[in-house]
Structure 1
Amino acid sequence: MSIQKQKFGNWLRNSISVKMITVGFLILILLIPLAFIKDLIREREARQYEVVQEINSKWGGPVIINGPILKIPYQEYMEETVFNEETKTYLKTKKAVRRDAYFFPKKLNIQSKTTTQSLERGIYESVVFSSESKVQGVFTNPDFSEKEVADEDILWEKATVLFQVSNLKGIRNTVNVNLGGEDYVLNPKFDNNYMNTLESGFIENLEEIQNSPMDFQSNLTINGSNTLQFIPIGKETLVSMQSNWHSPSFNGNYLPDTEGKEITDQGFSAKWKVLETNRRFGQTFFDQLPDLSEFAFGTAFLVPVDDYQKTERTSKYGFMIIGLTLLVFLLIQISSKIAIHPFQYLMIGLALVLFYTLLISISEHKNYLFAYLVSGISVVTLITIYSRSILKNTKFTLLILGSMLGLYSFIFVIIQLEDYALLVGSIGLFVILSTIMFTSRKIDWSGPQEI
């Protein structure tokens, strides 16, 4: 009986299947700390997002500019039926009700120069911008024909000009509009509209617009973050934008003209041209302005993939690195009959997991490349020295060193790629699998048969 137990114990120690199951179980166990590290990365990324949002909210949020717009009140008559107590009859009367009409310019030309800068709080950084926009254009005779408003019911003396801006906090200058040779200061007006409104005082001699167009000009300096957009309210809207930002993302309902777009490491320039026929709204609105933000276009000041995103992408390959590294040790153990204890496998796996903790902690203070090099070299050196003490064989130690350097270099290349990451990753995995199949073809997988 003792001989059978001894044979069974020897079979357990020497069985290839048992070794493979043990290593597979350890890999599954190591997924637990790997999952905790992924949660830690997401937690740190969320913290970064909160700090960046707080910085942006104090500097200025996303900017959408809509204007200038002519606002001209008019009178509309409503029929009322009033009961007369003396005659005991109903009398019909007309009651004048004040309405507002909004007219967009015939031509709108916006020239925007945007300068970006970095704001830091602790280890976190946010990219914000300051934009100087010169707004020019022409208003033509307002058309009230849609409502059949009589000339005497148009309240020219109550007309104003207004801007709508998504972010009043970011405005850095007193906003003036020069209309028909006269300057008008725009002040905030409280309303329940979708954007904040700046409105002027009453416009003088606006009736002259019926005889000849009126030119306008305004300058707006505003701080913001993430996006700068304009709404194309002109019958013909021309927008040009220049910036020192090197990674723009042209977004919104319209893309810039191909000929007017240029992106370099020093910044970008872009031009848009939008006509009335390119939109789904006209030049006049009565009673109230609708939300036109869906038609806005402009630029998002895109921040390239940050270190947290790169670290999270790297952690997704953690299972592959742990599995392939332990597989190399397993193949060495099977082919050379060198004994490797499960505890030693566990130590190697934990060292591989520690790579991601080092990566995220160092990248918060340095760039991703530096963090990856330091973390990778540290872990590879640690495991190489440890494997030397386990395997006691220079050839196998160099094999471990080479395979780990190849794995970490392969992962680093994939992380740097964007459009070709999947293609390169698939080809790389195919090569790795082919290499493992080729090197393991001579291994005797039958193992010990006698129990």
Structure 2
Amino acid sequence: MENQSINQNKGSFLGSFLQSTTIKMIMVGMLTLVLLIPLAFVNDLIHERSERKKEVVNEVSQLWGKDVFFYGPILKVPYKSYTETAVVDSKTNQTSIERKTSVEYAYFFPDKISNISDIKKNTSLKRGIYSNVVYTADMKFDGHFGKLNFEKLDLTDEDLEWDKASLVVKTTNLKSIKSDLAVKLNQQNFNFESKESDDNFYGMLETGTFDYRTLAPNGKLDFSFAMKYNGSNSIKFIPIGKTTQINLNSDWDSPSFEGMFAANDATKSISKKGFHADWKIMDVNRSFSQQYTKKLPNLNEYSFGVKLIETVDEYQQNDRASKYGFLVIGLTFLVYFLIQLINKINIHIFQYTMLGLALIMFYTLLIAITEHSSFSLAYLIASVAVIGMIVLYSITFLKTKKFPLFIGTALSGIYAFIYVIIQLENYALLVGSIGLFIILGLVMYFSRKIDWNNSNNQ
């Protein structure tokens, strides 16, 4: 009888312990941590889909045209270069000087370059479900070369082959040029042709040769030409003129101005209809010369221009939403747990598990629907579907509509709060911190009358 009484006491103690508030809190907390595993799988899915989009966008960009990088125009003039070699006669043992002549090239940058570019985004180019940041750019150039200062290169007039001069442009994306490349030099027409380049980054366009002295008898050579590009991502220039003026107009509403030189704040404008930006760069603003011999220098560090960006694409928004998954699960479980304690309603751990899985399904629905519609619409559909499921399921075990409706309202508030944070950029941290502070205050208020010392509190 005594052993039976002891066993009954042990059983009663064990049953009471397993039903205690502390154990229920531990079980719900452990379940919350376990649910981080499928949540991590959802994050992996988002990253996988994002990488797939990048691959497709890169593939389309390769076909359509990549970043446009413009370096030119440059006047190219060949000159005679001499090398002297001492030759020893093996029979007489006398030394003679052998002089060899080779042809090198001198390069002269213009006194002035002006460019007006009209950049139009292309929204029709899609591959499957993925859109691309691509554009068509109509670019017009004009300017002039002044009197050439070949003395600075330690060259003589007799060594320069003026009758074999040409005009050179270095640029990326030769295959994406979609216009005839005619250039006007002092009212005479020439054509650019693609030439072999010693630079893997640039391609090279060069005119046929002309007699510089005949074409520019007063030393001034005016030029004008137009180019049409299919491009993606960005347009950049190198300011090789003594005065370089760039004027960009576009219907893209989210530009990022990049490079060494800032656009003119007085004329720069950005709106939902597009942007306008001007640059005026003088030779005193950069530290390189106006003339070179043998080969052109790498001046990429002096580049400037605009990058056409998506401020937050659908996968970035999904990723930001999924990072709040732990918060949503934790707050939802907390609401159910407080209802359970305050109203002495028994909620099984299996039911918590079903609720947690429903909350995780929100993110899979969100990413799936976003790929076929806007993020805002997908967020609305996914949240309504998940909240509706949770409310209907809650009615079955809470045995009343009052608490499920309250939970539905609370979840709607949480999802709305997270949506606002995702849309914000500059104030996301501030709004998020204030919101969490308010939520913590509400939890403290509603749990103030709970007797946590009573381990049998249901």
Q: TM-score, normalised by structure 2?
A: 0.95
* Structure-2 residue corresponding to 1:47: 52
CA–CA separation in structure 2 for the residues paired with 1:293 and 1:304:
26
Cα displacement string for residues 254-300 of structure 1 (whole angstroms, at most 9, x for unaligned residues): 12111221222222211110111111212111111122222121111
Query: Which ranges of 4 or more aligned residues in structure 1 deviate by more than 6 Å?
Result: none
CA–CA separation in structure 2 for the residues paired with 1:306 and 1:391:
40
TM-superposed deviation, 1:332: 1.2
CA–CA separation in structure 2 for the residues paired with 1:429 and 1:174:
60
CA–CA separation in structure 2 for the residues paired with 1:328 and 1:148:
83
Matches of residues 23-422 of structure 1 in structure 2 within 5 Å?
23-118=28-123, 119-193=125-199, 194-206=201-213, 209=216, 211-422=218-429
SS of alignment partner, residue 145 of structure 1: helix
Kindly indicate whether the alpha-carbon contact (under 8 Å) linking 1:70 and 1:160 is maintained by their aligned counterparts in 2: yes
Cα displacement string for residues 102-155 of structure 1 (whole angstroms, at most 9, x for unaligned residues): 110000001111111121111111121111111100101221223321211111
Listed as ranges, the gaps of 5+ residues in structure 2 are: 1-5
SS of alignment partner, residue 39 of structure 2: helix
RMSD: 1.5
Kindly indicate whether the alpha-carbon contact (under 8 Å) linking 2:36 and 2:326 is maintained by their aligned counterparts in 1: yes
Quickly say closer, same or farther: Cα 1:14–1:205, change in 2 above 3 A: closer
SS of alignment partner, residue 93 of structure 1: strand
Moved more, 30-39 or 206-215: 206-215
SS of alignment partner, residue 146 of structure 1: helix
Kindly indicate whether the alpha-carbon contact (under 8 Å) linking 1:133 and 1:219 is maintained by their aligned counterparts in 2: yes
Moved more, 131-140 or 173-182: 173-182
Moved more, 196-205 or 372-381: 196-205
Q: Which amino acid aligns with 1:212?
A: G
TM-superposed deviation, 1:328: 0.9
Kindly indicate whether the alpha-carbon contact (under 8 Å) linking 2:148 and 2:219 is maintained by their aligned counterparts in 1: no
The number of equivalent residue pairs is: 450
Q: Which amino acid aligns with 1:440?
A: S
Listed as ranges, the gaps of 5+ residues in structure 1 are: none
Q: Which amino acid aligns with 1:132?
A: D
TM-superposed deviation, 1:441: 1.2
CA–CA separation in structure 2 for the residues paired with 1:319 and 1:207:
77
Q: Which amino acid aligns with 2:25?
A: M
TM-superposed deviation, 1:400: 1.0
CA–CA separation in structure 2 for the residues paired with 1:405 and 1:318:
14
Q: Which amino acid aligns with 2:178?
A: R
Quickly say closer, same or farther: Cα 1:425–1:441, change in 2 above 3 A: same
CA–CA separation in structure 2 for the residues paired with 1:112 and 1:410:
42
TM-superposed deviation, 1:89: 0.8
Quickly say closer, same or farther: Cα 1:221–1:206, change in 2 above 3 A: farther
Kindly indicate whether the alpha-carbon contact (under 8 Å) linking 1:107 and 1:237 is maintained by their aligned counterparts in 2: yes
* Structure-1 residue corresponding to 2:17: 12
CA–CA separation in structure 1 for the residues paired with 2:369 and 2:53:
15
